[in-house]
Amino acid sequence: MLSIIGGAVLIACMRISDVSLDTIRVILVVQGKKYSAGIVGFFEVLIWVFAIRFVFQHLDVIPNLFGYAVGFGLGNIIGVTIEQKIGFGFVQLNIISLHHTDKIADALRKSKYGVTILPAEGGTGGVSVIVLISPRKQQKKVISLIESIDKKAFITVQGAIPYRGFKQGVRR
């Protein structure tokens, strides 16, 4: 009985590892980091092959199948959590504040973030849009700063791949 549980736990751990690596690999691919993605993919698939080999050798052991499924589910959760902690890449934030645009822009600039203010037309008239590119791992800090000035600011966040003019790891 202990070996049956041990096998299921081993499979779950292997799946947690390979699915977590898969999450990171996909992000690396999207960001165009092909060599890093290739290296991560090598280990991801190697772990998966060992896991599936163990499952196929013991297909009659039902806990192994549950271990496989549990590992897949937990691997997704852990992979996303790891990626959020590492914070690969960059994000673009678009901020609309009806009454505090200049105050938000000044605070962001004091914190060494490059800020561009664009004129825009909203449903009720003219507004300004603050555009900012930031390392993803600083996203929460930027949003906290914005919300400390205007809790009602409209903020959108999207992935960004700077093409030129942004020095990685250096805030302007």
Whether the model pTM is above 0.85: no
| % of the chain residues with pLDDT over 70 | 94
pLDDT computed for residue 147 by the predictor:
97
Confidence class of residue 2 from pLDDT cuts 50, 70 and 90? low
> Sheet holding 115-122: strands in order across?
115-122, 125-135, 90-96, 154-160
Q: How many domains does the chain have?
A: 2
Decide if 162 contacts 31 (C-beta within 8 A): no
Let me know if residue 167 belongs to a domain. Answer: no
Q: What is the pLDDT of residues 56-94, one digit of tens each?
A: 999 899 999 999 999 999 999 999 899 888 887 889 999
| Whether residue 7 sits in one domain with residue 72 | yes
Q: What is the pLDDT of residues 114-170, one digit of tens each?
A: 999 999 998 888 899 999 999 988 999 999 999 999 999 999 999 887 777 766 544
Domain extent at residue 31: 2-86
Decide if 62 contacts 8 (C-beta within 8 A): no
Let me know if residue 169 belongs to a domain. Answer: no
Q: Domain containing 115 — which CATH number?
A: 3.30.70.120
Token pair belonging to 56: 């196929």
Decide if 16 contacts 74 (C-beta within 8 A): yes
Token pair belonging to 21: 């690596």
| Whether residue 95 sits in one domain with residue 51 | no
pLDDT computed for residue 170 by the predictor:
47
Q: What is the pLDDT of residues 8-52, one digit of tens each?
A: 999 999 999 999 999 999 988 988 889 999 999 999 999 999 999
Let me know if residue 111 belongs to a domain. Answer: yes
pLDDT computed for residue 21 by the predictor:
96
